[in-house]
């Protein structure tokens, strides 16, 4: 199978093209066509001579994802289902915010983490996505925006779609290097957020390479007993291990970390849980933000319901009054299959 051009950093592509007898500078030219001029065919790269153009076409592909279906919400959210070259399906979501356009990317086909509230976790991991398949999701959304001719650019990326990014660490890190390169897609590091279910060893590694992007950790419960019921991963990485990794990350990067907390009715949304969370955060509060997430019920997990709005606000107030930085995640696409993985899981079960 030919390789996708979107899987290479500029340095990697320079080396690869050099191996084919091209000048290293050819890679800069190719990147310009990929990310600035957004060519979708090799024949559009008119300033690359015919021989080199043919060489590119012989060894590489420009599009390895095909749109399979798309759902559009009245709030502007668009959920894309892409078919990969091996016919697997993945979800990518475009969200419109006041601050710009953000794309939520998937990192694996399915997921093995098995969070008990998650639609994606119902379909076990089939394989990791390559770096190119991660980058190309953003490119496909950008092509869609280009065709709409509203002169809009993807400005933010959240690595929060299906899969555990740190279970596909090397490909995800490579993709981030490509996405944030100012000669390429040029999405600033501070506009990129990676969310992990709490693979503590990988949080250490991520801190060491400090890509200057944002890190979010899915905590969802303040005690091991409760977190263990909601997230299987807590058996491998207890809250203590996760918080040790948080401390290491804060020490190494001095960057604020986000703790994600999905509110499940009468499971983790009581005042006592908020107080336990405050105690857990302790003196890390100046570098911590808690993101409260309203739950999107999925038919397969009937044991979980969405917390009442008043309960959500009370939880928020309790945290705020104790000086915890806290926000409530805005919901997107509630009139389409809003929960991550729902569209894919529907198509696969159909
Ligand atoms: S929430 Fe994320 S990590 Fe957990 S099962 Fe779903 S996709 Fe996997």
Asked if residue 100 has its Cβ within 6 Å of ligand 1, the reply is: no
CB atoms under 10 Å from CB of 227, counted, come to 23
Q: How far is the CA of 55 from the centre of ligand 1 (A)?
A: 40
pTM of structure: 0.94
Asked if residue 91 has its Cβ within 6 Å of ligand 1, the reply is: no
> pLDDT confidence of 338, banded at 50, 70, 90?
low
Q: Please, what's the b/e burial string for 3-23 (b: 16 or more CB within 10 A of its CB; e: otherwise)? A: ebbbbbbbeebbebbeeeebe
| CB within 8 Å of 33: residues ≥ 6 apart | 39, 44, 45, 48
pLDDT in tens, 129-141: 999 999 999 999 9
Q: CB–CB of 208/249 below 8 Å?
A: no
Q: How far is the CA of 13 from the centre of ligand 1 (A)?
A: 32
Asked if residue 163 has its Cβ within 6 Å of ligand 1, the reply is: yes
The ranges assigned to domains in the chain are 3-61, 66-349
Asked if residue 114 has its Cβ within 6 Å of ligand 1, the reply is: yes
**Nearest atom (ligand 1) to Cα of 111:** 8
What local confidence, expressed as pLDDT, does residue 303 receive? 84
Q: How far is the CA of 231 from the centre of ligand 1 (A)?
A: 9
> pLDDT confidence of 330, banded at 50, 70, 90?
confident
Domains 3-61 and 66-349 share a fold: no
Name the strands in the sheet holding 288-294, side by side, starting at the edge strand that comes first in the sequence.
66-72, 78-83, 89-97, 100-104, 154-159, 192-196, 214-218, 257-263, 288-294, 325-328
Catalytically active residues, by annotation: 91, 340
CATH code at 3-61: 1.10.150.530
What local confidence, expressed as pLDDT, does residue 1 receive? 83
Fold of 66-349: TIM Barrel (3.20.20)
Phi-psi region of 101 (alpha: psi -120 to 50; beta: other; left: phi over 0): beta
> pLDDT confidence of 253, banded at 50, 70, 90?
very high
Q: How far is the CA of 23 from the centre of ligand 1 (A)?
A: 43
What local confidence, expressed as pLDDT, does residue 203 receive? 98
What local confidence, expressed as pLDDT, does residue 150 receive? 84
Asked if residue 108 has its Cβ within 6 Å of ligand 1, the reply is: no
Q: How far is the CA of 163 from the centre of ligand 1 (A)?
A: 6
Asked if residue 197 has its Cβ within 6 Å of ligand 1, the reply is: yes
For residue 350, pLDDT over 60 is answered with no
Helix 169-180 / helix 131-148 crossing angle, nearest 10 deg: 40
Going by C-alpha positions, the residue among 179, 263, 255 that lies closest to residue 221 is 263
> pLDDT confidence of 123, banded at 50, 70, 90?
confident
What local confidence, expressed as pLDDT, does residue 149 receive? 83
Mean per-residue pLDDT of the chain: 93
């Amino acid at each position: 199978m030919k390789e996708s051009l979107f899987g290479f950093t500029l340095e990697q592509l320079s080396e690869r093209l050099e191996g084919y007898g091209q000048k290293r500078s050819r890679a800069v030219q190719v990147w310009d066509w990929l990310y600035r001029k957004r060519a979708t065919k090799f024949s559009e790269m008119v300033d690359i001579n015919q021989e080199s153009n043919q060489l590119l076409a012989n060894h590489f592909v420009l599009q390895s994802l095909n749109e399979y279906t798309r759902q559009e919400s009245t709030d502007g959210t668009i959920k894309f289902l892409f078919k990969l070259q091996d016919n697997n399906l993945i979800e990518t979501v475009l969200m419109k915010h006041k601050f710009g356009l953000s794309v939520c990317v998937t990192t694996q086909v399915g997921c093995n983490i098995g969070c008990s509230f998650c639609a994606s976790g119902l379909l076990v991991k089939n394989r990791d996505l390559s770096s190119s398949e991660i980058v190309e999701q953003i490119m496909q959304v950008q092509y869609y925006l280009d065709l709409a001719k509203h002169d809009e650019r993807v400005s933010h990326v959240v690595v929060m779609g299906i899969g555990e990014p740190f279970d596909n660490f090397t490909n995800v890190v490579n993709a981030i290097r490509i996405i944030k390169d100012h000669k390429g897609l040029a999405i600033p590091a501070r506009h990129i957020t990676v969310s992990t279910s709490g693979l503590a060893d990988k949080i250490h590694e991520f801190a060491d390479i400090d890509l200057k992007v944002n890190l979010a950790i899915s905590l969802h419960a303040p005690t091991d007993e409760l977190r263990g019921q909601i997230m299987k991963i807590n058996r491998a990485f207890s809250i203590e291990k996760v918080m040790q990794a948080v401390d290491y990350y804060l020490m190494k990067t001095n960057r604020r970390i986000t703790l994600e907390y999905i509110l499940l009715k009468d499971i983790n949304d009581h005042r006592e849980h908020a107080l336990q969370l405050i105690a857990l955060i302790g003196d890390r509060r100046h570098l911590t933000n808690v993101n409260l997430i309203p739950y999107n019920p999925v038919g397969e997990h009937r044991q979980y319901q969405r917390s009442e709005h008043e309960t959500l606000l009370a939880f928020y107030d309790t945290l705020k009054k104790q000086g915890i930085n806290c926000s409530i995640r805005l919901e997107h696409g509630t009139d389409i299959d809003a929960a991550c993985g729902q569209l894919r899981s529907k198509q696969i079960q159909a």
